[in-house]
Structure 1
Amino acid sequence: MHTAQVEVGRSTLTIETGKLAKQADGAVTVRYGDTFVIVTACAAATAREGIDFLPLTVDYREYAYASGRIPGGFFKREGKPTEKEVLTSRLIDRPFRPLFPDGWTRETQIIALLLSADPENDSDVLALTGASAALAISSIPVAHPIAAVRVGLLDGAFVINPTYPERKQSDLDLIVAGSRAAIVMVEAGAREVREDVMLGALEAGHAAIRDIIDAIETMAAAVGKPKTDVAAKDVDAAVRQEIEAQALAPLADAMRVKDKLESYAQVDRALDDLLASIPDDDPDRRADAKVVFKDLKEKVLRDEVLDAGRRLDGRAFDQVRDISSDIGVLPRAHGSAVFTRGETQALVSATLGTADDQQKIELVDGETYKRFMLHYNFPPFSVGEVKFLRGPGRREIGHGHLAERSLAPMIPSEEEFPYTLRVVSDILESNGSSSMASVCGGALALMDAGVPMKRPVAGIAMGLILDEASGRHAILSDIAGAEDHYGDMDFKVAGTSEGITALQMDIKVSGITTEIMREALDQARAGRLHILEKMGVTISTPRESISTHAPRIVTIQIPVDKIRDVIGPGGKTIRSIIDRTGVKIDVEDDGRVNVASTDEESAQKAIAIIEELTASPELNKTYLGKVQRITDFGAFVEILPGIDGLLHVSEIAHYRVNEVRNELTEGDQVLVKVINVDPSGKVRLSRKALLPGGSSDNGDKGDGQPRRPDRRGGAPGGGSSRPPRQRGGNREPARR
């Protein structure tokens, strides 16, 4: 067993091997605080024939027992991967692909399992670091180890591996992975962070990574297995030269065609012409031709950019494709937009819902709810293909998460805008950067829906063509599909006019220097501002009102101690209000009550009931109450739901009342005035204060005779069958 420890942030990172999963090619455990993951790496014994891609699979799983929980549901066991598990699997996968050698076609699998989870430390960066350590000690031939850390920004200072509570307060949530020499992967969400601050965070994260790499290299030197040799098949130089001479010119002409589908068709014809010139009985030459032709595609792009100084479609390096947009395109959607940039087009809709529509998410440490969602769909017709329509794959989930993260900081709080929001981006055409088109279209659709966003958000995808030998490079703004596929970097940056809200970088080279990243961030900002300006022509501020088809939500505040009065025993009261008015009611723990309805009248009716249920007696205010109980010393009158006040016998009339039941009967409705509310909440009422002569304490009028109400009609005046008698002062009646 071998153990390596390194101080990372404010805790110790421990990597251990040789104790668990010893039959795996490489297996390590990684612990940080009480969060504990096991990561394994295995490869098949033989190569997979007939493929020209890296057959790498990464699976990350979280077990409920890691936090002492039993899974919900009927079967009480973990089900299909959650969104968090899918995103973490992608996070691990992305930085390792450039590290495998050309020609490695053995099935390779990395599995990371969360076995223990504390309430402070996330497992994603531990799993990525563990994958690097497992590969380093295995026989699988990766180029060099990498590691990952999370960087937060609290009170202007960078924090390495911030805790969950700290991340809620942080203006930045950055994951950076890198080798000793360079950064290889970035994933970030931010609250409008400036480019120079983001660059500083990347440098801080990279500095912390180097110590972890030292520990992994020490472990690999001590217990690592010999690496498997990879015999990459190479085409004979003379054969390669012949094929290049024949195919390069027609291929270059085909790739310069601006229309994507026409360009692809001409590229296919160039390959067909090349293969047609080779006899069918020479399969080796035909196979070599396909390999060289594929390499030539990359060569054409790189030569065009680095040597000719232009892009295949004729744009300048910092030029964004033509942009057009429109809003309100779907008549019944609450908000909608079409955003088109070059040959990439997104139809984006926004839907407003109530708190009942929030997404319930089961995490390893419990349940939570999500009120803003963005879902990304990529139908096959967007690229002119025929495929089965299935549920969202890892790519769709990842693109949707990035677009959601880009817009989330600009979504108003629930207190400001008590709606649940769902944005759906359907990609109708795609030629690169569809996730960033979803960001732009999402911002337009939300503003069309009347969502009071703090500022509009736009996104742009940056590319890189790099000659690692000479250092020559070119950074490309708004990359098209071919530039993404054959280039060296996919660097997506989203944000507002004030700063960055999301960042994602993947590369195909060994690493990116800080200077290149600085240049890319600056160029991305210029492109982002250009796109925001174009979007502003369509809509620059949110609509003043929401769609007539959206639910109306009215929010009122009630005292926390009144929540039980609105809910009622077993929810009886709130269900009664809903049945009577047809609204939806959501009561928050802080006393906020959201009433949702399709029409204003029903909402106001429900609010009136709730206000009545939660009202408190006000001094000197008149209420129409109901007599609940009569005693010798007065009557208890309900003036508000659940609130009784004492109508003392001396406050019933201006004359002396000897028998309360002669004046009032249980169930009578009577107008009373609140004359006192003591500190304990007891209420004293007066009826006589509302009767004629109420301004006089003894109720005497000018004739010196008391008046009593007419029992027949209840109106003030005479009507007694007994002779009136003079009362002096305001004596209390005798109690019996």
Structure 2
Amino acid sequence: MFNMKKVEIEWGGKTLILETGRVARQADGAVLATLGETVVLCAVTAAKNVKPGQDFFPLTVHYQEKFSAAGRIPGGFFKRERGATEKETLTSRLIDRPIRPLFPEGFYNEVLVIAQVLSYDGENEPDIVAMIAASAALTLSGIPFMGPISAARVGYKDGGYILNPTQEQVKDGELDLVAAGTYDAVLMVESEAKELSEDVMLGAVMFAHKEGQKVIEAIIKLAEQAAKEPWELAQADNMADVRQKLTDLVGNDIAEAYRTTSKSERSALLNAARDKAKEAFAEADPQAQLAAAKLVKKLEAEIVRTAILKEGRRIDGRDTKTVRPIEAMVGFLPRTHGSALFTRGETQAICTTTLGTKDSEQMIDGLEGLSYQRFMLHYNFPPYSVGEVGRFGAPGRREVGHGKLAWRALHPVLPTAEEFPYTIRVLSDITESNGSSSMATVCGGSLAMMDAGVPLKRPVSGIAMGLILEGDDYAVISDILGDEDHLGDMDFKVAGTSEGITSLQMDIKIAGITEEIMKTALHQANEGRAHILGEMAKALDHTRGELSAHAPRIETMQIDKSKIRDVIGTGGKVIREIVAETGAKVDIDDDGVIKISSSDLSQIEAAKKWIQGIVEEPEVGKIYTGKVVNLVDFGAFVNFMGGKDGLVHVSEIKNERVEKVGDVLSEGQEVKVKVLEVDQRGKVRLSMRVVDQETGEELEDTRPPREERPRGERGDRGPRRDGEGRRDRGRGRDRGDRDRGPRRERGERSDRPEKDDGSEPEFAPAFLTRDDD
């Protein structure tokens, strides 16, 4: 029934399987890719006709993770997959970026790529499998696609590269890099690194590219068995005459515009040239008008690229290595925990840092289960930043992607939770943009965190590099403008410290670049990053020693795991009481680490003292401050050390006799007590009389030992028993010579309470003591 075709290869010590013909057979191309026990289905469809007036390539990529793939049910109220998560959005971009440049120019049919994770083994990451499946599905579909491509993840540890490392290997290593490319060249790189050198990063990219060639060979083998007939592309019309007409008409105007350094003035001159060209073709048919508009864009690109490649002159007059003027300041906003204003040329970002407690961590519900993120970076790009009117609302894919790039750049230099127990949120609002606002976010975010007192290992700077490539001639340009990004061949972003690279991202608009070009770009970027770090240091070159007065203070303490339940209490009773009484926020993790937070240090100290009282054992002979919590006939129970209760017997309240406890003490009264004894059951005997209640100092015990104390007058107790009869106890009867057995020695029986003769027991029995819960 099924005309299934399948290819298997050994890749990185695991089996990679690509199959088609059994699932999603009505799609133009569908591939089921399996690596280990991770399975991804990718289906590709394309519209057979182009919409009228279409002048761009409408490619849409959707990556979706099915919770059933990991044997999980989505958390929360809704029990089905809903809007794309951040990871799904980022992976969709990851697939889109390397395949988009491989569709031919002029192909405007709508293409939809859907990749769905059907099975996840917790070891083999589905994003790499999805990229391979998308490449294979496009190759089989017959849709014009100059692939296939491959993709691989690379880790680095102990001087060696690891192909497709597990999450644990990435966590323990120094690198998490994803690279994609064709058989001959690299197309896309995305990475996070722990301050690695340019040579190590370049080696990782080349390692990924070499290992990916094996995957491309497997896709070609599958295509030889199952590929559909390729689509026929309409031949492009020879527009040489129209091109020459436009060159004569607006060529000089465009060249003059690109010699203007101000972005707003340049935009005005370019718009005037475009309107002039539009008027010249006002009488032509719509298709001719569309073609003329595209030729104007090509003319703009040719003028800019030629000036850079042949003359070394850029749009704003700089050479290829110069970075635009930088101005940085910190403490820009008065009430934030940390803030910075970073301006580089006509690109500007306001970055703020907010510090929070553990309950401010971001909860992530994914295939791996629930996880928590203590560092967040959010990037906003409002329309006014480029002088436009546009949609303003929820962040789109671009905002999510740029924010994650800056997150990867800053994450490796953050302190550990033990060193700095705060949740950190960096917010970047782009107020102006003319090239590389994501790298402005890196620089501004680094300054804002240092301004907030976050102890970064080192400051981080970032720079965006560009490329102009014509045949064998190329020019790498530093700190690209927006127009250079649009008209160039590469967007190459590098971030890092003085010690090495923390993040590298590369997108290519052509069929790929060589190792030589990448090496040149990396080393030129190093020079630019060093310059930017120097400019940032003029504003702030170290982390502030103190937190903002508006930031919460957090102190940590470690307790024994066996004491966690004591601090929490039955149903959370104890910890709620601590929070309510002290005003501090208390968080406890499973390892016994307690974080106490408040903007008032006295509240932190009160909560800390309370908890210490719960987990510490009372020390005999030590004096504590406590509170009377219960009055009984034979004394008072006093709560001390936060969670301990002890008995002050009536005889230990004062040196003189106390007839009634309530005459001396009242519930809620604060007293100072000395620990006299802790019995084997943990019951505590306390004394007030040997402590000065004003100063808390110990007093000399002037009371004589118990055996020397005078006993009170008991009066005439009647005749003693003489053996021939029971003494008369006023009951009016004589027991005579009744044989009562051997005489019981005093103290032999304890199951019978003695007659109340006006005295109290020295220490209350256990069953009379107050149980805490």
TM-score (norm 1): 0.88
The reply to whether residue 522 of structure 1 matches residue 523 of structure 2 is yes
User: What is the CA–CA distance in structure 2 between the aligned matches of 1:88 and 1:420, rounded to whole Å?
Assistant: 25
Where do 1:286-301 residues align within 5 Å? 286-301=289-304
CA drift at 1:553: 1.5
Q: Quick one: which amino acid aligns to residue 70 of structure 2?
A: S
CA deviations on 1:403-444 (whole Å, 9 max, x unpaired) are 111111111111111111111100000001000000101011
* Residues 472, 682 of structure 1: alpha-carbon distance in 2 compared, 3 angstrom cutoff: same
Q: Which residue of 2 aligns with 1:398?
A: 401
Contact 1:595–1:603 under 8 Å retained in 2: yes
CA drift at 1:607: 1.6
The reply to whether residue 338 of structure 1 matches residue 320 of structure 2 is no
Q: Which residue of 2 aligns with 1:565?
A: 566
CA deviations on 1:629-653 (whole Å, 9 max, x unpaired) are 9999x9999765665789999x999
Q: Which residue of 2 aligns with 1:259?
A: 262
CA deviations on 1:616-666 (whole Å, 9 max, x unpaired) are 23355345688999999x9999765665789999x999xxxxxxx9xx999
CA drift at 1:16: 1.0
Contact 1:567–1:573 under 8 Å retained in 2: yes
CA drift at 1:242: 2.8
Q: Which residue of 1 aligns with 2:331?
A: 328
SS of residue matched to 2:307:
helix
CA drift at 1:10: 2.3
User: What is the CA–CA distance in structure 2 between the aligned matches of 1:259 and 1:266, rounded to whole Å?
Assistant: 11
Contact 1:305–1:311 under 8 Å retained in 2: yes
User: What is the CA–CA distance in structure 2 between the aligned matches of 1:508 and 1:521, rounded to whole Å?
Assistant: 18
* Residues 676, 298 of structure 1: alpha-carbon distance in 2 compared, 3 angstrom cutoff: same
* Residues 281, 47 of structure 1: alpha-carbon distance in 2 compared, 3 angstrom cutoff: closer
Contact 1:673–1:690 under 8 Å retained in 2: no
Q: Which residue of 2 aligns with 1:302?
A: 305
* Residues 356, 290 of structure 1: alpha-carbon distance in 2 compared, 3 angstrom cutoff: same
CA drift at 1:2: 1.2
The reply to whether residue 479 of structure 1 matches residue 480 of structure 2 is yes
Which residue, out of 368, 386, 389, partners 1:386? 389
Q: Which residue of 1 aligns with 2:731?
A: none
Where do 1:431-446 residues align within 5 Å? 431-446=434-449
Contact 1:29–1:36 under 8 Å retained in 2: yes
Contact 1:146–1:177 under 8 Å retained in 2: yes
Q: Which residue of 2 aligns with 1:728?
A: none
* Residues 256, 647 of structure 1: alpha-carbon distance in 2 compared, 3 angstrom cutoff: same
User: What is the CA–CA distance in structure 1 between the aligned matches of 2:138 and 2:608, rounded to whole Å?
Assistant: 62
CA deviations on 1:228-271 (whole Å, 9 max, x unpaired) are 12225334323322322332221111122111121111011112
Which residue, out of 94, 102, 106, partners 1:91? 94
User: What is the CA–CA distance in structure 2 between the aligned matches of 1:700 and 1:73, rounded to whole Å?
Assistant: 64
Q: Which residue of 2 aligns with 1:225?
A: 228
CA drift at 1:719: 7.6
The reply to whether residue 41 of structure 1 matches residue 44 of structure 2 is yes
Bigger mean CA offset, 601-610 vs 139-148: 601-610
User: What is the CA–CA distance in structure 1 between the aligned matches of 2:567 and 2:285, rounded to whole Å?
Assistant: 83
User: What is the CA–CA distance in structure 1 between the aligned matches of 2:491 and 2:521, rounded to whole Å?
Assistant: 11
Q: Which residue of 1 aligns with 2:618?
A: 617
* Residues 648, 245 of structure 1: alpha-carbon distance in 2 compared, 3 angstrom cutoff: same
SS of residue matched to 2:434:
coil
SS of residue matched to 2:142:
coil
Q: Which residue of 2 aligns with 1:197?
A: 200
* Residues 635, 265 of structure 1: alpha-carbon distance in 2 compared, 3 angstrom cutoff: closer
Contact 1:104–1:232 under 8 Å retained in 2: no
Bigger mean CA offset, 575-584 vs 142-151: 575-584
SS of residue matched to 2:450:
helix
* Residues 597, 644 of structure 1: alpha-carbon distance in 2 compared, 3 angstrom cutoff: closer
Q: Quick one: which amino acid aligns to residue 204 of structure 1?
A: F
User: What is the CA–CA distance in structure 2 between the aligned matches of 1:358 and 1:240, rounded to whole Å?
Assistant: 57
SS of residue matched to 2:492:
strand
CA drift at 1:326: 1.1
User: What is the CA–CA distance in structure 2 between the aligned matches of 1:619 and 1:517, rounded to whole Å?
Assistant: 72
Q: Which residue of 2 aligns with 1:587?
A: 588
Q: Quick one: which amino acid aligns to residue 542 of structure 1?
A: T
The reply to whether residue 537 of structure 1 matches residue 553 of structure 2 is no
User: What is the CA–CA distance in structure 1 between the aligned matches of 2:582 and 2:666, rounded to whole Å?
Assistant: 30
The reply to whether residue 374 of structure 1 matches residue 377 of structure 2 is yes
SS of residue matched to 1:538:
coil
CA drift at 1:73: 2.7
Contact 2:612–2:642 under 8 Å retained in 1: no
Contact 2:596–2:604 under 8 Å retained in 1: yes
Q: Quick one: which amino acid aligns to residue 493 of structure 1?
A: V
SS of residue matched to 2:161:
strand
User: What is the CA–CA distance in structure 2 between the aligned matches of 1:578 and 1:342, rounded to whole Å?
Assistant: 50
Contact 2:621–2:674 under 8 Å retained in 1: no
CA deviations on 1:84-126 (whole Å, 9 max, x unpaired) are 1000000000101110001111110000000111121210011
Contact 1:244–1:292 under 8 Å retained in 2: no
Which residue, out of 5, 13, 16, partners 1:10? 13
CA deviations on 1:574-618 (whole Å, 9 max, x unpaired) are 111111122211112222211111212222222221121222233
Contact 2:673–2:691 under 8 Å retained in 1: no
Q: Which residue of 2 aligns with 1:274?
A: 277
Which residue, out of 418, 422, 428, partners 1:415? 418
The reply to whether residue 248 of structure 1 matches residue 256 of structure 2 is no
The reply to whether residue 424 of structure 1 matches residue 404 of structure 2 is no
Q: Quick one: which amino acid aligns to residue 474 of structure 1?
A: A
CA deviations on 1:20-69 (whole Å, 9 max, x unpaired) are 11111100011111111100111011122212211100000011111111
Which residue, out of 210, 214, 225, partners 1:211? 214
Which residue, out of 218, 236, 242, partners 2:239? 236
Identity, in percent, stands at 49
CA deviations on 1:152-205 (whole Å, 9 max, x unpaired) are 012221100001111111210000101110111000011111111111111111
Q: Quick one: which amino acid aligns to residue 334 of structure 2?
A: P
Gaps of 5+ in 1: 654-660, 693-698, 710-716, 724-732
Q: Which residue of 1 aligns with 2:160?
A: 157
Q: Quick one: which amino acid aligns to residue 147 of structure 2?
A: H
Q: Which residue of 2 aligns with 1:118?
A: 121
* Residues 688, 321 of structure 1: alpha-carbon distance in 2 compared, 3 angstrom cutoff: closer
Gaps of 5+ in 2: 654-660, 693-699, 715-746, 751-773
Which residue, out of 97, 103, 106, partners 2:106? 103
Q: Quick one: which amino acid aligns to residue 607 of structure 1?
A: K
Contact 1:619–1:677 under 8 Å retained in 2: no
* Residues 608, 272 of structure 1: alpha-carbon distance in 2 compared, 3 angstrom cutoff: same
CA deviations on 1:355-396 (whole Å, 9 max, x unpaired) are 111111111231111111110000000011112312000000
User: What is the CA–CA distance in structure 1 between the aligned matches of 2:379 and 2:453, rounded to whole Å?
Assistant: 21
Q: Quick one: which amino acid aligns to residue 395 of structure 1?
A: R
Q: Which residue of 2 aligns with 1:726?
A: none
SS of residue matched to 1:51:
coil
* Residues 304, 631 of structure 1: alpha-carbon distance in 2 compared, 3 angstrom cutoff: same
Contact 1:560–1:591 under 8 Å retained in 2: yes
Where do 1:55-70 residues align within 5 Å? 55-70=58-73
CA deviations on 1:656-687 (whole Å, 9 max, x unpaired) are xxxxx9xx999998944467788xx8578687
Q: Which residue of 2 aligns with 1:456?
A: 459
User: What is the CA–CA distance in structure 2 between the aligned matches of 1:171 and 1:65, rounded to whole Å?
Assistant: 32
Report the count of equivalent residues: 699
CA drift at 1:721: 4.0
CA drift at 1:504: 0.8
Q: Quick one: which amino acid aligns to residue 62 of structure 1?
A: E
Contact 2:152–2:180 under 8 Å retained in 1: yes
Contact 1:69–1:365 under 8 Å retained in 2: no
* Residues 86, 344 of structure 1: alpha-carbon distance in 2 compared, 3 angstrom cutoff: same
CA drift at 1:690: 6.4
